[in-house]
């Protein structure tokens, strides 16, 4: 468990085996922070989250013993919750379809998985829909985690594997073309990683409107995607985080999504998503959603949550200690614009 002082969110998550982690839709904000939904839609959104929220490592519906082969990949040895977190993160951000693990027993694997779910650490905005698990009946046990990815994940996978990605799916091709065009328009080869991180943040703040009106499950799903943010210029917190990571990936700068919680206007922690970006070996926090206020401020850019430390984010955000530690802000030269 995390030793952070603000553990409200994690303490309130019930411990159930392979439960769905209700994350990233119900994020609120104060006057200057985006709200994920209006009060009249709470029941509909809660239903959507509980029934079919995409992008989280959800309940494995297909679990079976008798795994006979581990294919061509070497299994990763897992002996702790931390080991499982690192192995899962590596698989998710290399967009692998299979993750093979060895653990003393399947019961031990269950324990580690439960602890990560309780800690809010098993999340990928790009993974879709449910995880499938296969395992053998031996001790030590071999476990196969089968992953699939949404449109953003597929685009990012192809970016990793090809210098000129071509997609058969028109949504994926459109997303890639738009994202590539944006990066070309706001960056140049002479820019530092920090300058790119700022440019992508500023583009999203200026060109995106936070949309808190959601009437259907499909609307909620779509607003939580990079396609909604980059093509329609509207969306919600997970969409902002997806879009930021996609643009940074095209620009050649490492960025990941943090699943956690943040304070709402009633001083209660609610599920939320933001980013960490790697600058000179340090993973800084970036919350584009919280820098894009309601009502929209047009061309004005707020940078309160850009390249910030753990200490700064700890004031109103909460997340697993397993994510990379950031010791200090890097705000030299950053001002509201």
| Positions in the chain short of pLDDT 70 | 1-73, 123-124, 129, 213-216, 294-298, 336-337
308-323 confidence digits (pLDDT tens): 999 999 999 999 999 9
Which of 155, 162, 276 has the alpha carbon at shortest distance from 225? 155
**In the prediction, which pLDDT does 179 show?**
98
The answer, as to whether pTM is greater than 0.85, is: no
Q: Got the DSSP string for 219-280?
A: HHHHHTSHHHHHHSSEE-HHHHHHHHHHHHHHHT--EEEEEEEEE-TTS-EEEEEEEEEEET
What pLDDT does residue 335 have? 75
What are 127-146's pLDDT values in tens digits? 776 788 899 888 999 999 99
Contact 60, 133 (CB under 8 A): yes
pLDDT at 24 (0 to 100): 31
Residue 215: what pLDDT? 63
State the pLDDT at residue 293.
Answer: 73
Supply the pLDDT for residue 122.
Answer: 75
Q: Measuring CA to CA, which residue among 45, 39, 13 is closest to residue 122?
A: 13
**Residue 124: per-residue pLDDT:** 65
Which residue, among 122, 112, 104, has the nearest Cα to 80 in the 3D structure?
112
């Amino acid at each position: 468990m995390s030793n952070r002082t603000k553990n409200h969110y994690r303490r309130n998550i019930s411990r159930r085996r392979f439960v769905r982690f209700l994350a990233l839709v119900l994020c609120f904000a104060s006057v200057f922070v985006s709200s994920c939904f209006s009060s009249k839609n709470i029941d509909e959104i809660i239903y959507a989250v509980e029934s079919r929220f995409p992008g989280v490592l959800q309940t494995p519906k297909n679990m079976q013993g008798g795994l006979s082969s581990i294919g061509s990949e070497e299994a990763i040895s897992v002996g702790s919750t931390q080991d499982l977190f690192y192995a899962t993160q590596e698989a998710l951000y290399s967009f692998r379809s299979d993750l093979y693990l060895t653990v003393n027993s399947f019961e031990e694997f269950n324990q580690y998985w439960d602890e990560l779910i309780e800690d809010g650490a098993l999340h990928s905005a790009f993974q879709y829909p449910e995880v499938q698990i296969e395992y053998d009946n031996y001790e030590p046990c071999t476990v196969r985690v089968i992953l699939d990815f949404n449109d953003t994940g597929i685009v990012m996978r192809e970016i990793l594997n090809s210098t000129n990605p071509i997609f058969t799916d028109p949504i994926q091709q459109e997303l890639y073309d738009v994202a590539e065009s944006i990066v070309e328009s706001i960056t140049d080869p002479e820019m530092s990683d920090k300058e790119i991180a700022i440019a992508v943040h500023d583009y999203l703040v200026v060109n995106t409107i936070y949309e808190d009106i959601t009437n259907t499950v499909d609307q909620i799903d779509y607003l939580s995607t990079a396609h909604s943010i980059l093509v329609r210029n509207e969306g919600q917190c997970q969409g902002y985080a997806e879009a930021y990571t996609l643009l940074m990936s095209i620009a050649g700068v490492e960025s990941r999504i943090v699943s956690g919680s943040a304070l709402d206007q009633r001083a209660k922690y609610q599920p939320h998503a933001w980013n960490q970006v790697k600058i000179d070996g340090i993973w800084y926090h970036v919350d584009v959603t919280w820098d894009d206020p309601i009502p929209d401020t047009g061309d004005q850019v707020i940078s309160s949550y850009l390249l910030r430390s753990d200490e700064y984010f700890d004031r109103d955000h909460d997340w697993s200690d397993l994510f990379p530690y950031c010791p200090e802000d890097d705000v030299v030269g950053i001002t509201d614009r």
